[in-house]
A and B are shown apart, each in its own frame.
Chain A
């Protein structure tokens, strides 16, 4: 009753049209890396044309994306933090997790390279060198998937960078792009996913220092938010999206996305 009234009132104002449009849509909680890299803008029109389902992407950090999904504020979760994703499913918030694709992280840093790590392929050795040189390092510091990956490598290097927080170790508490802007501004080293780096426009003196270490592998998973927990989840449409993304069409679309001639994401869904 109230809802109908609101809908009528808002429609008459020409405002709610996008929200209440008759065309079906789903909300995907995802990470800034998928959006900022341009991947979703590239592959989603294919799905939308095929199914008529509009995909609305909310791009936030992995941690916040998962929390939003726990609250039911999304139909599909597309993130890159396998442990947290498994936990999400184990706790009953998600139906099932599927591998979608991977990309990789790279360590970028200033051309002057004060820690002398350029050209290496060992991320742990590189971080040790950065810590020894006390060279400026910018960290997401936001509990995101990238931040979690970074912390794993510090642990492997047996360095606690947060002891130098505020000194050479700078935690931005913001997204990948904002952190890259900070690193670019202060000539700091920074761990970033390659996709965001590739599409980042404000590099300044930064360039890739370390890449190719298998430990820099970054797996993306997709999960349908559990309709048993949140009955309003658009389960059918959400499942269709997941099927498409992990099926041949979606996987091919992911593989064909290139930025400056370089492929950024590598499909690896088990079904394909």
Chain B
């Protein structure tokens, strides 16, 4: 605890990098996952069911496997080796995007599909086409979608298996909270590992507080789904 309170600069740099990487990953995952999820909720095409099943399966994909796949892509002997992204924060963002996008897409689909059911006749009555209904639904589901993004952020920031493979846990470059915890635990340095664990739990609590604040607001505004 003293470590946290003393505001050790190195420690805070690690916390900051963790936050940066995961926030960017979630933003990118939102840009990809939300339209995909909404499209799956609204559009009807062959293979849609299969895509939903696949997406739900990807939600539970083991991070280590994701890390390995991203490593194979970014390795100098992999197809994207020329980008020289391995062992950079960007590589960690990519791995987290792969982990989080299915979560965002799957939750978006669920939320939008429920809302679409409620809205569909009314929107058709107002002459809104299926395609034009997507932004309407996304906007009206905004609070539930924020909750989905926070869930994705929770998964991203607490993840270690993928980022340690593609980031390499390099001091001052790609060392984030979870990889530091892994390293310090392996050194038997349990105090520092626990201090970082406490910060991570603090972040988890903050995220959950935000989720419940969002839900409360939804309740007050009658935005809950029927």
Q: How many A-B residue pairs have CB under 8 A?
A: 99
Give the contact-size bracket for chain A: 35 or more
Known: A19-B90, A230-B76. A177 touches B186 (CB 8 A): yes
Is B125 an interface residue when CB atoms closer than 8 A count as contact?
no
**Interface residues of chain B: helix, strand, loop or mixed (majority):** loop
Binds A, one of B1-9, B44-52, B166-174, B214-222: B166-174
CB-defined contacts of B89 to chain A, threshold 8 Å: 15-16, 18-19
A18 touches B81 (CB 8 A): no
Is A268 an interface residue when CB atoms closer than 8 A count as contact?
no
Cβ contact of B185, chosen from A41, A177, A232, cutoff 8 A: A177
Give the contact-size bracket for chain B: 20 to 34
Is B83 an interface residue when CB atoms closer than 8 A count as contact?
yes
A221 CB to closest chain B CB (Å) equals 21
B186 touches A36 (CB 8 A): yes
Considering the complex, which residues of chain B in the window 167-224 have a beta carbon less than 8 Å from any beta carbon of chain A?
Answer: 168-174, 183, 185-191
Is A255 an interface residue when CB atoms closer than 8 A count as contact?
no
Binds B, one of A80-88, A103-111, A195-203: A195-203
Is B87 an interface residue when CB atoms closer than 8 A count as contact?
yes
Is B163 an interface residue when CB atoms closer than 8 A count as contact?
no
CB-defined contacts of A174 to chain B, threshold 8 Å: 186
Residues of A within 8 A of B (CB): 2-3, 6, 10, 13-16, 18-20, 27, 32, 35-36, 41, 56-59, 68, 71-73, 174-178, 180-181, 184, 199-203, 230, 232
A-B contact pairs, 15 of them (CB 8 A): A6-B90, A27-B87, A56-B171, A56-B173, A57-B170, A59-B183, A71-B77, A72-B75, A72-B77, A72-B81, A73-B71, A174-B186, A181-B186, A181-B188, A230-B76
Known: A15-B24, A58-B170. 15 other contacts (CB 8 A): A16-B89, A16-B90, A18-B172, A18-B173, A18-B174, A27-B168, A56-B168, A56-B171, A71-B75, A174-B186, A175-B186, A176-B186, A201-B187, A201-B188, A232-B76
Ranked nearest first, the 6 interchain pairs of A and B with the lowest CB-CB distance are: A177-B186, A72-B76, A19-B88, A202-B188, A58-B168, A201-B188
